[in-house]
A and B are shown apart, each in its own frame.
Chain A
Amino acid sequence: MAGDCSDMSTTTPTRPMMQSAAAPRRGISRAADHAADLQRRYRVRSFGRNLRADLLTVIAWVSVAMSITLWLADGGLAKVTSLGTGLTALGIVTGLVATDLVVLMLLLAARIPFVDRAFGHDHAVAIHGKLGKWVIYGLLLHGWFLLCGYAANDRLSLSGELGSLLSVGDLVLGVCALGILIAVAVSSIISVRRSLPYEVWHVIHLATYIAVGFSLPHQFSMSVLMGPGTFARWYWIGLFAVTGFLLLAYRVFLPIFASLEHQLVVTKVRYEANDVVSIEMQGRNLPALDVEGGQFFHWRFLAKGLWWHQHPFSVSAAPTRDTLRITIRALGRGTAQLMTVKPGTRVMIEGPYGVFSDKSRTQAPLTLVGIGIGIAPIRAILEATETVPGWTTVILRAHTPSQLYLLREIQVMCQDKGARLITLVGSRTQNRLGETGWMPASHRGNRLVDLVPYVASSDVYVCGPQAASDLVVADALGCGTPADSIHNERFVW
């Protein structure tokens, strides 16, 4: 088997699988058949995934257009006859667009499996974050334009108009909603800088639901467009209802049902290295979870001092019929407490999430790069994904040899799968240009392609601390790996 593959590598070094699939075969080679078949399957699947992502993108854009269209269809433009009515129209449109973006943000955060699989959980959250900025701008403009427009229409001063507007109860709620949303946005900006604890950020973020609730009355009572009996009213009610349903289903009920059904209990806590443990859990009917190696759950350990915070961890072994395993490192206060978790502790889960798994494969050749504790998910992917002997390389990167976690297990797996294992140990170094690279001193000046000659036509999975991961991703891009084939899941909330 390995012989066949190394033979292929000498004939077609750059695009091995495409070539081997197209070239006339001199003899029946099962390995080449397998590789070509795998390549075809991954190609079809990645095409389907891209199509889904594109479809969702188009739906999102159309929903924004739809919010404006309902206003246009209501003869919104015809009402613009003066400066005052023009400003009012601008205020209405900015409000409608911002409201639609809020709905999109909620849907992106709802962890809907279809969205998660199309974009990836981390990407969905990244889009969610980007939209947040526009929602705040849109809502501020909405308020400002309408205030100016109404003042002009009523021939009142701004403060006079504001006074008369604030006598309406629903509008006061709306202003409160805007205040809450601004607080949420500010807390998110601060938490990106890591100067706000997760729990504080989380509680503030939950206030978003209060804000949305506060904003609803004035939308339906004050807007002429959404007045009783109009199509627009039903459209928006429907939109909010569907969004609320999906949020409740995927963020609240399904996790509770999953936790109740699978009854996970900690069975074993194994010391792996300093500050690193593997936690093994047993539960019922785990195949129903449909977990793939590399995916993650939000875990909540129901023990004293632990139950009130949850943590995202990838599984570190492909799940069996009744066991799940995570390997975690004490990186903060919360994870340090987890080191003390006792067997018998009940566990609640939300997930599985993420596309850092076999799900996002695009090609048959495979390069896995695990850095530090990022080795754990890499191990799970290696175990779960299909590999072609000779076309699979596993690179483990750590500061010290003891930080090559799960090394023994990975060595065995690499031997079974015909994968090459490369361990790189030591501090990061700079190249001749003075740029920091991700290689240690022993490999100074090397690039990914020097370690993995076929890296340009392989899937590259990178997991580890963000700064080091970014360097590997940049290296892979520089070596010619298509962006589509580079997988680096960021840990996001």
Chain B
Amino acid sequence: MSIRARVAAVVASVGVLGAGWAVGTANGATVASTTTTGTTNTNAGTSGASGTTSTTSTSTGTTITGTTPITSGSTSYKDGTYTGTTVTHQYGSVTVTVTISGGKITNVTANAVSDGQHRSGSINSQAIPLMKSEVLAADSAKVSTISGATYTTTAYITSLQSALSKA
């Protein structure tokens, strides 16, 4: 291998890797920013709920009010058992059922179906109990996903949110 080839190969490879890294971090940044805006919104919702304008905000937009009770947590749920929509993800699907008693989340069960491949069975059996304890502790859908089980837990949270929106 000539020196010319060596230099050119290193330069080209570093360039390609740099491009990949740039794209990766740019995508990561957009993901991060959407999560932050998400949090800011819910924070706004929380402050709104605790403040005087809470009633107006709940009455105006139904789509927004769906999220407001979840984030404000403690007081807004009606007692009962609610089943969320079945959320399909790449490696299976998750359906969350939540039980509200005394305005609080007292139980949450999930029916996680794996496609029998991709370790999703073992991921589900690990992740679902962790999610349950997190949800019970937070008393809301404001829990983070579990790394290594991103698909399952993201679907879990979405299904849980839809269940809580009925409560």
Interface residues of A (CB under 8 A from B): 50, 53-54, 57-58, 60-62, 64-66, 68-79, 81-82, 84-85, 88, 150, 153-156, 161, 164-165, 167-170, 221-222, 224, 227-228
If A57-B1, A76-B24, A168-B118 touch, whether A65 touches B17 (CB-CB below 8 Å) is yes
Q: How large is the interface on B (under 10, 10 to 19, 20 to 34, 35 or more residues)?
A: 20 to 34
Interface residues of B in 1-26 (CB under 8 A from A): 1-2, 4-6, 8-10, 12-14, 16-17, 19-21, 23-25
Q: What is the bound-complex CA distance between A76 and B25, given in angstroms?
A: 9
A154 touches B117 (CB 8 A): no
B20 touches A72 (CB 8 A): yes
Instruction: Determine the chain A residues whose CB is within 8 A of the CB of B28 once the complex forms.
Output: 75, 77-78
Instruction: Determine the chain A residues whose CB is within 8 A of the CB of B149 once the complex forms.
Output: 153
If A72-B24, A73-B23, A222-B118 touch, whether A88 touches B148 (CB-CB below 8 Å) is yes
Please give the distance in Å from A307's CB to the nearest CB on chain B: 40
B13 touches A64 (CB 8 A): yes
Q: What is the bound-complex CA distance between A424 and B29, given in angstroms?
A: 74
What residue of chain B has the Cβ atom nearest to residue A167's Cβ? B121
A154 touches B122 (CB 8 A): yes
B16 touches A65 (CB 8 A): yes
Q: What is the bound-complex CA distance between A165 and B9, given in angstroms?
A: 38
Give 1 or 0 for each of B74-99: 1 = CB within 8 Å of chain A CB: 00000000000000001000000000
Q: Which of A65, A69, A73, A221 contacts B117 (CB 8 A)?
A: A221
B21 touches A58 (CB 8 A): no
Instruction: Determine the chain B residues whose CB is within 8 A of the CB of A156 once the complex forms.
Output: 122, 126
Instruction: Determine the chain B residues whose CB is within 8 A of the CB of A164 once the complex forms.
Output: 119, 121-122
Q: Which of A54, A73, A153 contacts B5 (CB 8 A)?
A: A54
The 10 A-B pairs with the shortest beta carbon distances in the complex, nearest first, are A69-B20, A153-B148, A72-B20, A61-B9, A65-B13, A54-B5, A73-B23, A78-B28, A65-B16, A164-B122
B119 touches A78 (CB 8 A): no
Instruction: Determine the chain B residues whose CB is within 8 A of the CB of A153 once the complex forms.
Output: 147-149
Please give the distance in Å from B24's CB to the nearest CB on chain A: 4
Give 1 or 0 for each of B122-160: 1 = CB within 8 Å of chain A CB: 110010000000000000000000011100000000000
A221 touches B118 (CB 8 A): yes
